[in-house]
Structure 1
Amino acid sequence: MYTIIRKSLLELVFSGSFMKRWNDKLRPMELVEVDKQGHKMITAWLLFMLSSRNLSLDERLRLGDEIVEGGLFDYFYRLVITDIKPPVFYQIKANPADYRKLTSWVLDQLRPRVTPLGEETWERMTKHLMNPVDGTPARRILLAAHLFASYSEFKLLKTLNRADDEMAEIEKSFVDRLRGLEDLPGVTDLLAGNESVLGRFAGMCGHLRFQKRWSQTPRIPETSVLGHVFVVAAFAWFFSLEVGACRARRQNNFFSGLFHDLPELLTRDIISPVKLSAPEIADLIKAYENRELQRLVMDPLRTNGLADVAGRLGYYLGQETGSEFTAAVIENGRARVTSSTELSRDCNRDELDPKDGELLKMCDKLAAFIEAYTALRTGITSDQLTQACWRIRQQFHEDPVVAGVHIGALLADFA
């Protein structure tokens, strides 16, 4: 079976690493679109967890699909209209005729890259973008997450732009619009910031943008851990669609991708040669990560009415199964290790709450490959980047099919 995913779609997702944000303001660091999207979708997951507590399985899965797809569709749209400032875009959106003209043009630009995902996905994307009704639960969650992630960026540059007359108005707009969504569970906590455990955790996740990947290797573009996890999550979603994953499985794959590097909040992005230098070193790092994760993240969540959030994070991070890259299902309330073969053959059912391991690991390596490949294509010559591309190509040359995905054929497109 040959993959339906193409190089052009993967590069479209990664292109947000080049897209600068707040580029008309003085900034303490470069803020890029893919980082903001990572923070937005982490926040959307938190709001989704709280809003779905009393829903049936089918209702929860339907809402989860709408949130993930809606977030990806909005991201694609944003990539195309990159040069339109928000105030101008909101004026265009207020005029239905103008908005439809702009959106038709955007869809024309996206069609060649997105249609390989299938006609049904394309139809859902067209419907989502052409009919921006903000009143649905999924759209309201995505709007709140978008506002919180953007407001978090604003706070980073606020003190550097005190002489800018726009700043007070921009901040008021963020706060007023978030307060207008306070009927959504969790939004009040987001506004409370560090005074709330949920707000503190959401803000902490945003700090992953400060941690640069490949920190010892010059690259263009530089990428952060926050942007990387979003890219991995998006890849996991696309490949889950390709292999026919059930709704629970594809959502678990997306959110596992989004959180798979969460421990790096506590340890930084430790390069693979250090992690793999000796088994004792790897074990030491893992033990430290688990201890600090419990102390700084899990325990505060559990003791403040968010045990379900902590439990779900634990499942994504493989705390019961030993690794975030282990395939698993939930049986009798406990996580059980399984194999990719069993997962696809016998466990691809919503009620088993399955998540992939090999597929997620493959997406992690594919994202690293694209980071290195793109840097080389932009003219950065480096032994580390060249060797990384070669190692990943070799691995998938020897084992070209991973979790039902023909990754070897896909990498062959990257000449």
Structure 2
Amino acid sequence: MVSVRKSLLQLLFAGSFMKRWNDKHRSMDLVEVDKQAHKMMVAWMLYERNSAHLSLPEKLGLGLEIVEGGLFEYLYRLVITDIKPPVFYKIKANPDHYAQLTAWVLGQLEPRVRELGDDLWGRLAAYLAVPESDAPARRILDAAHLYASGWEYSLIKRDNPWDDELLDIESSFTGGLARFADLSGVPDLADGLFAGKKTALGHFARLLGQLRFQTRWSQTPRIPETSVLGHMFLVAAYAYFFSLAVDACPARRLNNFFAGLVHDMPELLTRDIISPVKQSVAPLGGMIKAYEQAELERRVFSVLRRGGCADLADRLGYLLGMDVGSEFHESVREADGARRVSPQELHERCNLDALDPKDGELLKVCDSLAAFIEAYTALRNGINSDQLQGAVWRLRNKYASTVLFDRVHVGALLADFD
């Protein structure tokens, strides 16, 4: 039976501490979880652009390989921590050295990840055993990795004019992306990032990266600080593992991951407005939602449609729950469009790939769980405040009796955080 434990949730959160480019001058901290979020958002875009010709089983299979591959790579990265990329590439080039490193990594991961089931553990071990591959999922993930790292490089380039590594670093990104030019969307992304051209995909990918600049709990000091971008990746990862625990069908697992990955995207337009503020004035929530939808249409959906990416705009709208009123409402897609359903109906009668199901309550639980861990970790790190104490208390009480589909006892999971 699949089980999600405290140790796994905390391991996933550890990427919020893990600094990137820490041998370069930076005007802001760049952390691993933010980069992973941006990478998987780009991977989602490339997945949608390169899977339209596939049958439903083939498309879902590719999507699962991409999502799990991204999670497996992140887990690997969390364990090897500060090994610089050039050193790691040399290790990968030596099969014996890579096998030794990977065996050690798996030993570190097993106590935290094995509870997710033997099937997932077997897929993780098999994936990490092969350092490189020309499989479509790997190529999409590699291209997305290069883009997200290249976007970070564009932030620090001007801060390091004396650095003699810069030209080699930039050429590794431009040359690397050129190897994936046959993937639909990659040339547009590369042109938007390095050639200064205005492309719909490039605009969207850059816009998503800006969520890195938005700090959560902006009026409450915390260690570590977390961004909206990194928070979305954590929600997506939690949602995927919870989906495994409730035996969600492949389409539902994918939708839950990608919905978690974009659920706070409208905060590009409104910033991170905390729940007590939204709830303090009755009409405020509706006003914010209406503003978000209008701005999403103007700055995102219309740009994608004009740029030949109408399919991406439609899919994004579904993941954000635009047709059913909220990203936290359960939904399915039928011949006449999206329809809202209850959690029980989704789980008992709509857990079918053909219905394209997406959870709402499960996603909200994961969103709250990520917020709980942010507050809990700050308190454990000595940052004591009424806001953090209150958030931990409220979330413990809110979910004390919550059990997702008789499989995941959320209250018991929170109780493990003593």
Q: TM-score under structure 2 normalisation?
A: 0.98
Aligned with 1:205 (options 208, 213, 224): 208
Matches of residues 79-94 of structure 1 in structure 2 within 5 Å? 79-94=78-93
8 Å CA contact retained: 1:3, 1:407: no
Equivalent of 1:241 in 241, 244, 250: 244
What is the alpha-carbon distance in structure 2 between the residues aligned to residue 208 and residue 80 of structure 1? 26
The match for 1:359 is 362
Number of residue-to-residue matches in the alignment = 413
Please say if residues 232 and 363 of structure 1, whose CA atoms lie closer than 8 Å, have aligned partners that are also in contact.
yes
Q: Contact 1:3–1:410 (CA<8 Å) still a contact in 2? A: no
| Residue correspondence of structure 1 range 393-404 to structure 2 within 5 A | 393-397=396-400, 399-404=401-406
Question: Where do 1:12-411 residues align within 5 Å?
Answer: 12-193=11-192, 195-397=198-400, 399-404=401-406, 405-411=408-414
Q: Secondary structure at the match of 1:142?
A: helix
Letter of the 2:307 partner, please give it. Answer: N
Is contact 2:2–2:117 with CA below 8 Å preserved after alignment? no
- Distance in 2 (CA, whole Å) between partners of 1:54 and 1:192 is 25
- Is the partner of 1:315 in helix, strand or coil? helix
Counterpart of 1:219 in structure 2: which amino acid?
R
Can you give the 5+ residue segments of structure 2 that lack an aligned partner in the other structure?
A: none
Displacement, 1:95? 0.7
Matched residues in 1 for 2:390 and 2:136: separation? Answer: 46
1:25 CA displacement = 0.2
In 2, the alpha carbon distance for the partners of 1:47 and 1:333 equals 27
2:62 aligned partner, one-letter code: L
> 2 CA distance for matches of 1:104 and 1:333?
50
SS of the aligned residue for 1:329 comes to: strand
Counterpart Cα distance in 2 of 1:144 and 1:3: 31
Large movers: runs of 4+ above 4 Å:
none
Deviations 1:314-344 (A, max 9, x none): 0011110000000010011411000111111
Give the Cα separation in 2 of the matches to 1:63 and 1:315.
Answer: 20
Q: Distance in 2 between matches of 1:392 and 1:326?
A: 20
Letter in 1 for 2:23: D
* 1:73 Cα deviation from its structure 2 partner: 0.2
1:302 positional shift: 1.3
Amino acid at match of 2:402: P
Displacement, 1:370? 0.2
Deviations 1:122-156 (A, max 9, x none): 00000000012320000000000000000000000
Separation in 2, partners of 1:402, 1:141? 33
Look up the equivalent residue of 1:165 and give its one-letter code. Answer: D
Cα distance between partner residues in 2 of 1:304 and 1:171: 27
Alpha-carbon distance between aligned partners in 2 of 1:409 and 1:387, rounded to the nearest angstrom: 19
Q: 1:165-204, CA deviations, whole angstroms, 9 ceiling, x for partnerless residues?
A: 0011100111001011101111001111151110110111
Distance in 2 (alpha carbons) for counterparts of 1:180 and 1:24: 27
SS in 1 for 2:327: coil
Deviation of 1:83 after TM superposition, in Å, equals: 1.5
Distance in 1 (CA, whole Å) between partners of 2:2 and 2:114 is: 13
Native 8 Å contact 1:252 1:355 kept in 2:
yes
Q: 2-side partners of 1:98 and 1:402: how far apart?
A: 43
How far apart, CA to CA, are the structure 2 residues paired with 1:343 and 1:171? 47
How far is 1:4 from its partner?
1.0
CA contact (8 A) 1:331 1:352 kept: yes
| TM-align CA RMSD | 1.0
How far apart are residue 250 of structure 1 and its match?
Answer: 0.4
Tell me if the contact between 2:212 and 2:228 (Cα under 8 Å) persists in the aligned partners.
yes
The one-character-per-residue Cα deviations of 1:20-46 (angstroms, maximum 9, x if unpaired) are 000000001000000000000000000
- 1:235-254 CA-to-partner distances (Å, cap 9, x unmatched) read 00000000000000000000
Query: Partner of 2:332: helix, strand, or coil?
Result: strand
Partner Cα separation in structure 1 for residue 48 and residue 172 of structure 2: 26
Structure 1 contact 49–309 (Cα < 8 Å) conserved: yes
Deviation at 1:400, TM superposition (A): 2.2
Partner secondary structure for residue 330 of structure 1: strand
Give the aligned residue type for 1:30: D
**One-letter identity of the residue aligned with 2:141:** L
CA distance in 1, matches of 2:149, 2:139: 15
User: Structure 2: which amino acid aligns with 1:71?
Assistant: G
Provide the rounded CA distance (Å) in 2 between the counterparts of 1:402 and 1:102: 37
Q: Is the 8 A contact 1:181 1:187 kept in 2?
A: yes
Which shifted more, 331-340 or 237-246? 331-340
1-structure distance, mates of 2:364, 2:113: 23
